[in-house]
Amino acid sequence: MKAVLAALAACTLLGLSGCVPLAIGGAAAGGYYLGKDEREPAVVASDGRITTAVKSRLIADKYVDGLRISVETYEGVVTLRGEVTSTLPREQAGRVAAGVDGVKSVRNEIKVVREGAR
C-alpha cells in the first residue's frame, strides 16, 4: 500500500510542479518567483528534485508515516518537520533524507510526542 502511495505522490508532485505558475497567475508568476529567490535557477530545480525524492522515499518507508512529515530543501540542506510517537520514525526519516543524492545535510526538526498529545 505504501508503495502505491509513494508512486501516486511522486507522480502528483512531478505532475503538478509545472502547474504552479499557471495556478497562481501564469508563467510570469514563475519568473517572478525565481527573480525573488537569490538561488540560481539550477539550484532551485535541484532543491525541488531533492524534496520530491525525499518525500517519495518517506511515503514508501515502512517505519515512517511520510504523509505526516513536511520536507523543505534549500541549497541542498533538507529540513524535516512533523510529529511522530517514537524516536524510531524520527531517526529513520533523517537516514532516508540523508541517503538521497544531492543532500548536503539534514535538519531533523521532527518532534516526538506522546500518543494522546497528537
**Over the stretch 47-101, which tens digit does the pLDDT of each residue have?**
999 999 999 999 999 999 999 999 999 999 999 999 999 999 999 999 999 999 9
Sheet with 105-112: strands ordered across: 69-74, 77-84, 105-112
SS3 assignment, position 48: helix
φ and ψ at residue 19, rounded to 5 degrees: -90, -10
pTM: 0.70
Q: How far apart are CA 117 and CA 104, in angstroms?
A: 33
**Over the stretch 4-25, which tens digit does the pLDDT of each residue have?**
555 655 655 555 555 555 444 5
Cβ atoms of residues 20 and 34 within 8 Å: no
Q: How far is CA 21 from the centre of its chain?
A: 19
CATH number of 2-117: 1.10.10.10, 3.30.1340.30, 3.40.630.30, 3.40.640.10? 3.30.1340.30
